[in-house]
Amino acid sequence: MFLENLKIAFRAILANKLRSLLTVLGVMVGVASVIAVVSLVQGLQYKISSDLESVGSTFIRVIPDLGVQRNPFLQKMPSLTYDDALAVRRGATAVRDFTPLFLATAEVKAGDARHDTTMIAVNGSYQEVVNQWVQHGRFFTPLDEEAKKRVVVVGADIPRKLAMSDPIGKTVQINGSGFTIVGQMEKRGSSITGDPDDIIFIPFSTAAAIYGRDQMKHLPLALQVRRRDDIDLAKEQVREILRARHNLKKDQPDDFQITTQEELMKTISGVLLNVSLIMAAVVGIALLVGGIGIMNIMLVSVTERTREIGIRKSIGARRGDVLVQFLIEAIALSGLGGAVGIVGGYILANLARFGLKRFVDLPPVHTPFWAIVLAFTFCAFLGILFGIYPAAKASKLDPIEALRYE
């Protein structure tokens, strides 16, 4: 009986193709929008998770922080210096190593080729702290840092951008100063925070000599904890040391922020979830309009097929049989719109990704299975919700009156 009703439903839908298409247009747009948003957000979350996991679970970031009670227009950014990092390294038993991070823009020249990129000044522990390694050549040695040598390690894409086939040992101009390339980092792939392969590294001591110590007073610090179980201990030790060095009283808030990888992931996941919920609420309006359209067309269908209902009832069809017939038709109509919407949403997400590629390098879209199941389930619920009234109206028709209907 179910299969027979399903066949009848699809015959009725195909008999009025344009009307059926216009009816489920709202559902298709709504589902496509939801799937597109979820696919883009899930792709972002998957990429961010991969990036954070590649750094490792023992990574801690410390940055200067004005705090919520401070006014950024009236107060200067709190200091966080290389000496603070040294004090943490000496006093925090749970911290294995650290690297300061000084960021600046740089113009790199090799012959006639020029390229603008990001320069980061770090120490020799950078590789171990952030779990990113040199693929060719070497990284900075203690001798490089002590002598403030003008050496540079380039990202995986820099040689291609400068038309250099074998960069190791070659000299490049960075902001007008000569640097020797001693290493090339392994390829990491695209990231939403920037391209980790389009970057250069110089020794922190060299950057301090070039830019001056006054530019090194507000540094982000990257710390590596000895063990994952020591994360909480490391945070507490770092907090105590920095508060003591910054002469903060007990009632004063921290003027720095300590963040672990798990906290970063939770924060980012929360933001992406809120974006998804807001978009889902907006798209819900389109689905509501689509549901009303289904109800209207089902009422028209009941009116058009009044004689058919009378014939079915006169030969023994029960009220429940007629109710199920039209309810299945409403669900089939809604489900068909949902199926088209799912495919359209995936295509829309990919088009959005490629369309925005000029402005931001988004990761590949990822449509989770639960999103597809949820979309189909919601469409079925929509069909039941807005199909129950027309189906009930059809089931209540008197067979004699229905047979007389013209």
CB proximity list for 210: less than 8 A, separation 6 or greater: 177
Residue bearing the bigger pLDDT, 359 or 322: 322
Determine the Cα–Cα distance for residues 261 and 195; give it in Å rounded to an integer.
20
**Rounded Cα–Cα distance for residues 44 and 62 (Å):** 24
With CA atoms as reference, report the closest residue to 47 among 157, 155, 192, 187.
192
The model's confidence at residue 122, banded by pLDDT at 50, 70 and 90, is very high
Instruction: Tell me the average pLDDT of the chain.
Output: 82
* CB-facing half-sphere around the CA of 143: CA atoms within 13 A: 1
Q: 50 and 242 in contact (C-beta within 8 Å)?
A: no
The predicted pLDDT at position 121 comes to 95
pLDDT given for residue 293 in this prediction? 78
CA dist., res. 335 & res. 329, Å (int): 10
Rg, C-alpha atoms of the chain: 32
Answer yes or no: are the C-beta atoms of 174 and 152 closer than 8 Å: yes
- Position 345 scores a pLDDT of 87
Asked whether the predicted pLDDT for residue 192 surpasses 60, the reply is no
Half-sphere exposure of 403 (CA within 13 A, CB side): 8
The 3-state DSSP class for residue 106 equals strand
Which of the residue ranges 68-77, 151-160, 377-386 has the most confident prediction, judged by mean pLDDT?
A: 151-160
Here the contacts of 233-239 (C-beta below 8 Å, separation 24 or greater) are 233/94, 234/60, 234/92, 234/94, 234/95, 235/60, 235/260, 237/88, 237/91, 237/92, 237/93, 237/94, 237/95, 238/60, 238/62, 238/88, 238/92, 238/95
Give strand pairing partners of 183.
137, 153
Residues belonging to the chain: 406
The SS3 of residue 218 is strand
Average pLDDT over residues 177-185: 94
DSSP per-residue codes, 342-403: HHHHHHHHHHHHHHTTTT--PPPP---HHHHHHHHHHHHHHHHHHHHHHHHHHHT--HHHHH
pLDDT band with cut points at 50, 70 and 90 for residue 368: confident
- pLDDT at residue number 267: 76
What is the pTM for the complete model shown? 0.66
Average pLDDT over residues 206-214: 90
pLDDT class of 272 with cuts at 50, 70, 90: confident
Tens-digit pLDDT profile for residues 14-60: 777 777 777 778 788 888 888 888 888 777 777 776 666 666 668 88
Q: What is the pLDDT confidence band of residue 66, given thresholds at 50, 70 and 90?
A: low
In the DSSP assignment, the letter for residue 77 is P
What secondary structure does DSSP assign to 175-187, as a single string? TTEEEEEEEEEPP
Lowest mean pLDDT among 156-165, 189-198, 252-261: 189-198
pLDDT in tens, 344-363: 888 888 888 887 766 656 66
- Using an 8 Å Cβ cutoff, are 76 and 65 in contact? no
State mean pLDDT over 207-219: 89
User: Maximum CA pair distance of the chain?
Assistant: 103
More confident site: 77 or 94: 94
The 10s digit of each residue's pLDDT in 132-178 is 899 999 999 999 999 999 999 999 999 999 988 889 999 999 999 99
Q: Is the pLDDT of residue 101 over 90?
A: yes
- Which long-range CB contacts under 8 A does 233-238 form with residues at least 24 apart? 233/94, 234/60, 234/92, 234/94, 234/95, 235/60, 235/260, 237/88, 237/91, 237/92, 237/93, 237/94, 237/95, 238/60, 238/62, 238/88, 238/92, 238/95
For 354-384, b/e burial (b = at least 16 CB within 10 A) is eeeeeeeebbebbbeeebbeebbebbbebbe
Say how far residue 96 (Cα) sits from the centre of its chain: 31
The residues, any chain, with a CB within 8 Å of residue 322's CB and separated by 6 or more, are: 309, 312, 313, 391, 394, 395, 397
**Token digits of residue 204:** 């922190």
Query: What is d(CA 100, CA 63) in angstroms, rounded to the nearest whole number?
Result: 10
Per DSSP, what are the bridge partners of residue 260? 60
Residue in this structure with the two tokens 């107060």, named with its chain if needed? 75
What is the tens place of the pLDDT at every residue in 279-309? 777 767 767 777 787 788 777 777 777 777 7
Q: Is pLDDT larger for residue 269 or for residue 222? A: 222
Sign of CA dihedral 172, 173, 178, 182: negative
Name the band, by pLDDT with cuts 50, 70 and 90, for residue 131: confident
Residue 88: CB atoms within 10 A of its CB come to 23
| Main-chain dihedrals φ then ψ at residue 256, nearest 5 degrees | -150, 165
